Structure 1
Amino acid sequence: MHSWQIQEAKARMSEIIKRAQEQPQDITLHGKSVAVVISRAEFDRLSRAEGSLVDFMRRSPLYDVDDMELERDKSLTREVAL
């Protein structure tokens, strides 16, 4: 991954976008990574939903478990001021 200082990135944005089609481009500020430019295809791949929440829950190993006992912690979460 190529790294760019933010000042240089502003001046060469079109080149960064072209390079991002091949590999992610790192943007730094004061030597620390603050952003990464990736291609749209890579973004779509990373953010693609894998079905609905209902589908996810149905794939759970606990989906058909009827005898599960859940117990709530009844302790206070903070001190109560009187």
Structure 2
Amino acid sequence: MEWQLQDAKNQFSKVVQKARFEGPQEITVRGERAAVVLSARDYDALRAGRPTLVDDLLGGPSWDNEFIEAVEQRAKTPSRNVDF
């Protein structure tokens, strides 16, 4: 169902209930689609199986042996003089 923003604001609990039992509710602003209210179940289904930011960061490219050796051989001291 499609709701104008003002109507959705005035009847927000009804919008939420319809999202829960009837499916996504579209909100329009000046006749243009602006937002969609989903039930938690629909949202969870949308997100299922998609990696999180943490998954993306931890799942970066693997380090080959040559790169590991280069990292281990680097100087253990700072490359520039840092005075505090």
Q: TM-score range with shorter-chain normalisation? A: 0.5 to 0.7
What is the percentage of aligned positions where both structures have the same residue? 36
TM-score (norm 2): 0.57
- Supply the distance in 2 between the matched residues of 1:50 and 1:3 (Cα, whole angstroms): 28
Going from structure 1 to structure 2, the CA distance change for 1:50 and 1:35 (only over 3 Å counts) comes to closer
Q: Which residue of 1 aligns with 2:71?
A: none
Instruction: String of CA shifts for 1:20-71, please: whole Å, max 9, x gaps.
Output: 01211000000000000010000001001257666xxxxxxxxxxxxxxxxx
Query: Number of residues paired by the alignment?
Result: 54
- Supply the distance in 2 between the matched residues of 1:12 and 1:50 (Cα, whole angstroms): 32
Q: Which residue of 2 aligns with 1:8?
A: 7
Instruction: Report matched runs for 1:2-81 at 5 Å.
Output: 2-21=1-20, 22-49=22-49
Counterpart of 1:36 in 2: which secondary structure?
strand
Q: Which residue of 1 aligns with 2:62?
A: none
TM-score (norm 1): 0.58
Structure 2: gaps (5+ residues) = 60-84
- Supply the distance in 2 between the matched residues of 1:23 and 1:50 (Cα, whole angstroms): 21
Structure whose alpha-carbon radius of gyration is higher:
2
Segments of 4+ in structure 1 off by > 2 A?
49-54
Counterpart of 1:49 in 2: which secondary structure?
coil
Structure 1: gaps (5+ residues) = 55-82
